[in-house]
Amino acid sequence: MQKVEKSVEEWRKQLSDEQFRVCRLAGTERPFTGEYCSPKFEGVFHCVCCGQPLFDARHQFDAGCGWPSYWQALTPNAVIEHIDNSLGMQRVEVVCSGCDAHLGHVFPDGPEPTGLRYCINSVALQLEPVPAE
């Protein structure tokens, strides 16, 4: 997939105010407010900005942290991880590899088999449900 690049104005037109604040300005939604907070979905979660597939609902778990949590990305190339030294601490930021949208952070306190917890903002995601058979 070719990298999606748009101007600030184009992103503002495409996204809601909250999606723009989180995805393009590296904001965070309030905990326990997101649509996908509970692991009760079936399908694949895509980037709300560019549509790239990011996380499989089968990899979601209830971390109790207030944000959707996954133990792995859909593919190794779906997301990019960067060191984030904001807020006076060091964390690992997760961005969409298709458009550099801020998604959330990854922490080393998740379940097996990876031990990772991808803590992702709901507003950064769009669920594509499993088609009915």
Of 37, 49, 96, 119, the catalytic one is 119
**Alpha-carbon dihedral sign for residues 31, 60, 41, 119:** positive
Q: Under 8 Å CB-to-CB from 40, ≥6 apart: which residues?
A: none
Q: Are 67 and 34 in contact (CB under 8 A)?
A: yes
Q: What order do you get walking across the sheet with 102-107 strand by strand? A: 60-61, 69-70, 117-120, 102-107, 91-96, 79-84
Q: Is 96 among the catalytic positions? A: no
Catalytically active residues are 119
